[in-house]
Structure 1
């Protein structure tokens, strides 16, 4: 690669790592945040959910803003927003301010992540692009094993606000280098749809709000029922609008492919189970087993190491064995591990008993993840990949929001923070809920055709995606 191409890969990969890290680094700091800010379980949930929610609903709009106003310009703007919001998180005097700052942080992340990939694609020629994307994925993927460990180290060595302060010097380096080392580019000037964005945000927020509030306020309360019903109705309205839109924010026609639909549903449930499990696993290690935040982060390394190592092996095997076996077997392993942990969980449990199920879970998650990505992105010709990628990443983030909401609701119904036994009771039920989410992913993955293509060749001509007009005009 030329020096300019190396700069583009390095800067976008570092930005991707920082953004991905921030959704995971907070997991080992949750107990410290709870005790310092006297946060409730609901407020802890929103600390995670606010970031992921704004990240999810703004992803596709961020890509359109970059195409219209300049990808580098919006990428840098996202970094600036992310840095300012990180400072707001670190300085937050209470949970309300922390949650608001986390929501703004997610908005900045939504600008950074899709535009980082687009800038990399524009800088690197097609014959070198797969290698560059592999480097990007490898660096960003380090967030999974490193996130909980880094969070634990910072909380133990300094204090929890520093998990946000560390973003400031990183962005201070990235912004000037991006402005001087990455070339500006634009894309097709697609029409922005602020109305669709508002509908998507309001629909998602209404459902998530009801899930968060249901167990504490009561499911029959107007403050729970009205947001839930309103969110569902707004979601149906969005679908109806997007079906008729000339340039839809959500390209519903892509879901005509069984491979694409199965892959997106599988990642929705997979990431919901994973983020829900991480939300409570680090707390179980600290509350149930008495670990420090640093030791809790180290204890999660067997899981994180598998998620870094295994995809490099399974990625090469998917082309031979097909997508479905890896989705079904991987999520089946993860579900088994969650039930395993739920069955053995007790106060003072010997850590060695957790190592095997953590490894099994890590292998399962890591085997399914590249398979879902292949299902969502590999069935289409190049002109469809951008929109397919936007849908996939949105479904992944929304799955995380949904998963945390469901798992916390189950915990709140069966346990509490009043005592260690009460916490462990709730934790056990939460792990069973994580297993159920993973099994829903298994069912979703079984929809994928047995020998679905993961190469993009003959994209969905036999998979129900293209209309008769598309086939006749040869657009694919």
Structure 2
């Protein structure tokens, strides 16, 4: 990609915005102790400080992808970026824990609008021959955002204040907004109809299930609100599937799941997020509550985990086109599971930091090997015209997995331990980490169900190219022209 080309601008803008959205998943984890000291609240409030973002993010991602197809991907990207930026300012100025949780929920709304269309915008701008490398780099940037969250959060909290972990989003958002308008090419989906009933059913179902899991820790798993959430969520999910089977313009074309690659990568991504997000939520607090480190010291000591993607991710991105993304992802998931298992095996109230380093390095290398090639496998498993909804589905399931991970591993933690002492914390941490390691181990086995190479039917790709070209000719007055638009119908990487 030439410097200053539309592809480079698309990568810089989409990756930076995606980094901000992914970073805010876990940047708050090392700030939780400072937030609790400043604003008050118990572990349930801290859990909601994380999950208010991931929950609204997850349930609205499908809507964000649909809105991009209907009203223009660049337009929805900029609106989402604006909402995210304003909500970040609101979180920084929050006077109490309830206001902070509300601002985090609005942040999730903005992230849900910008994330699914960012990958589609990148696909449109990058030539087909270079998409494997571009997807790998995009995935690596997002992976590093998740991994660097605790370090960035801890450093900012210690040297400034917890408010600045949100305030720092504002100048970046203000910089990206005009760049997105000037440098990104507008594009639309092949079907401009919105599946309002399907999107509403999916969002309500996800909200009910995740809300029930989160509340189960405090209200009890047989309490009326929790049972109502599980029953209502499950019922709405069944209704959603029934509706999608007969909808003329489904929010999620169920035929996508006939692809072994698409199904495997989505199941694996959900399980990986469940195990990893829950583990990071607890480990970042263990280094403070259990080991007595300051927020920045805890973040620095996470560097063997957070720094590994910087070294490993570029190599993984380059190899994904040569040996197959599936194999790299499977190895990455296995390393993540091994890292969490190692951590659980050696964790004690007085464990030395040196004993934790190998576990952190394994987890970091595994994270890089997962995030770098996962976008390549995902986007090569569907037709060109379905990449927007595929991105929305994958991101939604990953966020649901993350929200469930924090809730489930916190439930395991609170069933066996508490914040009372270092030993009590370890008593809850160890079984929670074993659960996380087991879930990620299942994800590693799941991804092996995907074919070694993309099995997309060339005829399908050719048909999509012809259909896209016809649509461009018909919509010449409504879709902007340019180098990025010209590449929209390019073939997918094999």
Normalising by structure 1, report the TM-score: 0.89
Cα separation, 2, equivalents of 1:122 and 1:344: 47
Q: Are the counterparts in 2 of residues 307 and 366 from structure 1 also a CA contact under 8 Å?
A: yes
Equivalent residue, structure 2, for 1:453? 453
Equivalent residue, structure 1, for 2:98? 96
Structure 1's unaligned 5+ residue stretches are 462-475
Equivalent residue, structure 1, for 2:59? 57
1:312 and 2:333 correspond: no
Cα separation, 2, equivalents of 1:402 and 1:270: 11
Larger CA deviation: 208-217 vs 174-183: 174-183
Q: Are the counterparts in 2 of residues 144 and 308 from structure 1 also a CA contact under 8 Å?
A: no
Cα separation, 2, equivalents of 1:94 and 1:105: 17
- Tell me the CA shift for residue 237 of structure 1: 1.0
Cα separation, 2, equivalents of 1:152 and 1:92: 19
Name the SS of the counterpart of 2:334 in structure 1: helix
- Tell me the CA shift for residue 459 of structure 1: 8.5
- Tell me the CA shift for residue 360 of structure 1: 1.3
Cα separation, 2, equivalents of 1:361 and 1:409: 22
Cα separation, 1, equivalents of 2:128 and 2:84: 30
Cα separation, 2, equivalents of 1:291 and 1:351: 11
Q: Are the counterparts in 2 of residues 403 and 437 from structure 1 also a CA contact under 8 Å?
A: no
Cα separation, 1, equivalents of 2:100 and 2:288: 22
1:276 and 2:309 correspond: no
- Tell me the CA shift for residue 179 of structure 1: 2.7
Equivalent residue, structure 2, for 1:402? 404
**Structure with more relative contact order (C-alpha pairs < 8 Å, separation 6 or more):** 2
Cα separation, 2, equivalents of 1:460 and 1:270: 30
Name the SS of the counterpart of 1:220 in structure 2: coil
The total of aligned residue pairs comes to: 460
Alignment of 1:354-373 (within 5 A): 354-370=356-372, 372-373=374-375
Equivalent residue, structure 1, for 2:303? 301
Equivalent residue, structure 2, for 1:468? none
Equivalent residue, structure 2, for 1:35? 37
Larger CA deviation: 202-211 vs 234-243: 202-211
Evaluate the alpha carbon distance shift between residue 104 and residue 124 of structure 1 in structure 2; reply closer, same or farther with a 3 A threshold.
same
- Tell me the CA shift for residue 147 of structure 1: 2.1
Alignment of 1:224-263 (within 5 A): 224-263=226-265
- Tell me the CA shift for residue 165 of structure 1: 0.7
Cα separation, 2, equivalents of 1:16 and 1:54: 16
Equivalent residue, structure 1, for 2:215? 213
Equivalent residue, structure 2, for 1:343? 345
Given candidates 152, 163, 170, the residue that maps to 2:172 is 170
Structure 2's unaligned 5+ residue stretches are 462-491
Cα separation, 1, equivalents of 2:307 and 2:45: 30
- Tell me the CA shift for residue 53 of structure 1: 1.8
Q: Are the counterparts in 1 of residues 136 and 317 from structure 2 also a CA contact under 8 Å?
A: no
Cα separation, 2, equivalents of 1:391 and 1:274: 19
Q: Are the counterparts in 2 of residues 63 and 115 from structure 1 also a CA contact under 8 Å?
A: yes
Cα separation, 2, equivalents of 1:168 and 1:218: 39
Evaluate the alpha carbon distance shift between residue 64 and residue 311 of structure 1 in structure 2; reply closer, same or farther with a 3 A threshold.
same
Equivalent residue, structure 1, for 2:182? 180
Evaluate the alpha carbon distance shift between residue 273 and residue 340 of structure 1 in structure 2; reply closer, same or farther with a 3 A threshold.
same
Larger CA deviation: 438-447 vs 412-421: 438-447
- Tell me the CA shift for residue 145 of structure 1: 4.0
Name the SS of the counterpart of 1:106 in structure 2: helix
Q: Are the counterparts in 2 of residues 78 and 109 from structure 1 also a CA contact under 8 Å?
A: yes
- Tell me the CA shift for residue 381 of structure 1: 4.0
